[in-house]
Amino acid sequence: MRILLLCSSFNGLTQRSWLELRRAGHDVSVELAVSEEAMVEAAELAKPDLIICPFLKERVPDALWRTHRTVIVHPGPPGDRGPSSLDWAIVDGEPEWGVTALQAVEEMDAGPIWGYRLFPMPAEPPRKSSLYNGPVADAAVELVAEVAAKAGDASFVPVPLDYRSPEVRGRLRRAMRHADREFSWAEPSEQILRRVRAADGSPGGRTVLGELPVRVFDVYRGPDLPGTPGAVAARREGAVLVHTGDGTVWVGHLRVEREGAVKLPAAMALGELVAGLPERPGYSEITYDRSVGVGVVSFDFYNGAMSSEQCRRLASALRYAAAQDTRVLVVRGGETFSNGIHLNVIEASPQPELEAWMNINAINAVCREILDCTGQLVVTSMAGNAGAGGVMMGLGADRVIVRESVVLNPHYRTMGLFGSEYWTYVLPRRVGAERAWRLTQEALPIGAAEAVELGLADKAVAGSRMEFERRVLEYAERLAADPGYDRLLAARRQGREADERRKPLDAYRAEELAEMSRDMFDDRNGFRQARQAFVYKAPAQATPEHLARHREWSGASAPSIASTSHM
């Protein structure tokens, strides 16, 4: 079928839906909901058999749902309605939640039901972003495939919403207000965790810290220490430890409530207010563990962004791991594997261009540690999505293993950058020069199955993040005990030596950085504007041409990607 995806942004869930539908053989186009006129025009051009809205904050125009089958994916169980569904589910401690596919009608979220999925909520209050990108997205992608299949069945009729039905357990919930997101440090840690995580990553929990009005994100339980609620007790790796009514919480990120302020690591946001505080163990973005013959460097950076300082710490951890007497090194990412350089920290710097330059050099050092590790076999464990330099960082390993739900965006073009992280070496080495060029130019997402088919990854593994990490570790242990281990390690060394003789890594780095200097300092391709639009969440003005297939369907073709490329 011809399917039009209407969305507020081409986010992770929309990308997964796009990938799933295309893999099923459908012709899929995307339109961002920048205006009612744009949505209606897109449908007129596309003449779709079906419109699906996997992530849509705006109301579907009457002219669309009255003339086209339009299905909304709502992040709540049948009967749930309102724009703050996940927020309330976390705050209220719902034991079970779900996702519903329903037909668009005049009243929002009140249309007949095409299908739904239910899932148990974690006992520990989840971050809204984790819930959305995890079980919600998994359920939503299943539903999108189910909706497409049902749309092809002429006998299918969606079920009217009926609150008398035992399956309909949701209700209309009002939008969360600013007051609903406010909290006091005198409250118990559990309540603070729930309130903040219900607003993570947007708009954050509202409170005052150090006499500054702030938005709070990225909180974790701290030790049970006595102290004045709201007093900052310590700092660690960019986070600060704050006393609550019955203990402490670690706060990873803050945004001070003032014009132009951006979300930053908490210690950086508070600046001089916490500069003299002691460092205290108990919070760490990077850990090292050992099992039988295997060393595991785990890192979990908020939203996958890696600042210069975080990169330096990760490079140091990898250097330490490479020096240990293990046979396999696993490089394990977190909820998001990595999205490359830290655009918020760059934007907040007094000299953003210089900070960007330092950041790209620091992440290059991380990549170099992986590439230069020839005393052990290296396995990359990608349980979460990756983009730009984060993808390239993982490709330096011998084996790249991805979770089946992972989406990779192996390109830099949409940010106005040529890219570095040795991508001109690691990407062609895996997929060939022609395909590497296409991946970076088309700037389209790649699903796990396609990544394996292309050679970008070696294996896709199903299961939860915990199950995935267990299976990757078991694989690494088998690799360490493999009778052919010495041969595999010798092949890694010999391959690296041969590649180095052909063209040194320093040459790749120098060529990439020459291009990046023009992007960062001369701003030849709009990096400054793209960065600021990302950091300040500027609404899109139009749908990117490479996503809008309906313009091709109608004959209103856009310029080719090659003709608009900066590379």
* DSSP secondary structure letter of residue 136: I
Query: What letter represents residue 539's amino acid?
Result: P
The whole-model pTM stands at 0.94
Q: What is the pLDDT of residue 140?
A: 98
Domain end among 99, 118, 152: 152
Q: Which of 185, 335, 308 is nearest to 251 (CA)?
A: 185
Q: Is residue 567 part of a domain?
A: no
DSSP letters spanning 241-274: EEE-SSSEEEEEEEEESSTT---EEHHHHHGGGT
What whole-number distance in Å separates Cα of residue 126 and Cα of residue 109?
Answer: 24
Structure tokens at 339: 């999205």
Q: Is residue 102 part of a domain?
A: yes
Q: Is residue 542 part of a domain?
A: no
364 and 391 inside one domain: yes
The H-or-E segment that residue 390 falls in is: helix 389-394
Q: What is the pLDDT of residue 28?
A: 96
Residue 370 above 70 pLDDT?
yes
184 and 86 inside one domain: no
CATH of the domain at 309: 3.90.226.10
Query: Structural domain tally of the chain?
Result: 3
Q: Is residue 547 part of a domain?
A: no
148 and 214 inside one domain: no
Q: Is residue 527 part of a domain?
A: no
366 and 452 inside one domain: yes
Query: What letter represents residue 363's amino acid?
Result: I
Domain end among 217, 243, 274: 274
CATH of the domain at 134: 3.40.50.170
Q: Is residue 332 part of a domain?
A: yes
Residue 563 above 60 pLDDT?
no
Q: Is 418 exposed, middle or buried (0-12, 13-18, 19+ CB in 10 A)?
A: buried
21 and 106 inside one domain: yes
Contact 37, 541 (CB under 8 A): no
Mean of pLDDT values over 299-328: 98
Tens digits of per-residue pLDDT, 424-441? 999 999 999 999 999 999
Query: What letter represents residue 373's amino acid?
Result: C
Mean of pLDDT values over 158-164: 95
To 10 degrees, the CA torsion angle through 107, 109, 112, 118?
-170
Q: Is residue 549 part of a domain?
A: no
The 3-class secondary structure across 27-78, one letter per residue, is EEEEEECCCHHHHHHHHHHHCCCEEEEEECCCCCCHHHHCCCCEEEEECCCC
Q: Which of 203, 293, 188 is nearest to 253 (CA)?
A: 203
Q: Which of 101, 33, 97 is nearest to 72 (CA)?
A: 101
Residue 68 above 50 pLDDT?
yes
Mean of pLDDT values over 117-128: 96
Mean of pLDDT values over 452-465: 97
Res. 556 pLDDT band, cuts 50 70 90: low
Residue 562 above 50 pLDDT?
no
Contact 103, 111 (CB under 8 A): yes
447 and 492 inside one domain: yes
345 and 413 inside one domain: yes
Residue-number span of the structural domain to which 392 is assigned = 286-519
381 and 339 inside one domain: yes
Res. 559 pLDDT band, cuts 50 70 90: very low
Q: Is residue 562 part of a domain?
A: no
Omega before 201 cis (within 30°)? yes
Residue 561 above 60 pLDDT?
no
The beta-strand segments (E) located in 341-474 are 377-382, 386-387, 399-403, 407-409, 446-447, 459-461
Q: What percent of the chain has pLDDT over 70?
A: 98
297 and 352 inside one domain: yes
341 and 481 inside one domain: yes
Mean of pLDDT values over 87-96: 96
Structure tokens at 332: 């394990």
Mean of pLDDT values over 24-32: 96
Domain end among 210, 245, 274: 274
List CB contacts of 8: < 8 A, sequence separation 6 or more. 32, 33, 55, 56, 57, 58
Q: What is the pLDDT of residue 552?
A: 79
Contact 328, 376 (CB under 8 A): yes
Tens digits of per-residue pLDDT, 126-159? 999 999 999 999 999 999 999 999 999 999 999 9
Mean pLDDT over the full length of the chain: 95
182 and 325 inside one domain: no
Quick check: helix, strand or coil at residue 343?
A: helix
369 and 480 inside one domain: yes
Measured in whole angstroms, how far is the alpha carbon of residue 110 from the centre of its chain? 30
Contact 42, 162 (CB under 8 A): no
What whole-number distance in Å separates Cα of residue 244 and Cα of residue 192?
Answer: 8
Tens digits of per-residue pLDDT, 342-361? 999 999 999 999 999 999 99
CATH of the domain at 202: 3.10.25.10
> For strand 70-74 and strand 50-55, is the pairing parallel, antiparallel, or unpaired?
parallel
Tens digits of per-residue pLDDT, 12-27? 999 999 999 999 999 9
Mean of pLDDT values over 211-217: 97
Residue 567 above 50 pLDDT?
no
Pinpoint the alpha helices (H) of 432-560.
Answer: 433-442, 448-454, 465-481, 485-502, 505-521, 527-535, 549-553
Tens digits of per-residue pLDDT, 523-553? 999 999 999 999 999 999 999 988 988 777 8
Residue 564 above 50 pLDDT?
no
